[in-house]
Amino acid sequence: MRYSHSVLITILLVVGLNYGVSGQIANVTCDQPQGSFYDLSGYLLNGTKISFDQFQGKVVLLTNTASF
């Protein structure tokens, strides 16, 4: 019984904190972008710099994967 109360309280705290934070995030305003996707560049795995303007007029799938 005590374990279930602890779990319930933890869930309620997490939900409550997420609700409070999400309300703050919704009020954030963003600046206009400085340029377009085609003004950007990146690096290939071999270290070669690549400009994204060569992909103009083509379909591009951009994936952002992050890890700790």
What's the average pLDDT block by block, 10 residues per block, for the chain (68 residues)?
78 71 63 86 93 92 80
Structure confidence at residue 57 (pLDDT): 92
18-43 in b/e form (b: 16+ CB < 10 A) is eeeeeeeeeeeeeeeeeeeeeeeeee
Q: What integer pLDDT is reported at residue 53 of this predicted model? A: 94
State the Cα–Cα distance between residues 14 and 6, nearest whole angstrom: 12
Distance (Å, whole) CA 1 – CA 20: 29
**If you search the block for the tokens 């009020």, which residue do you land on?**
27
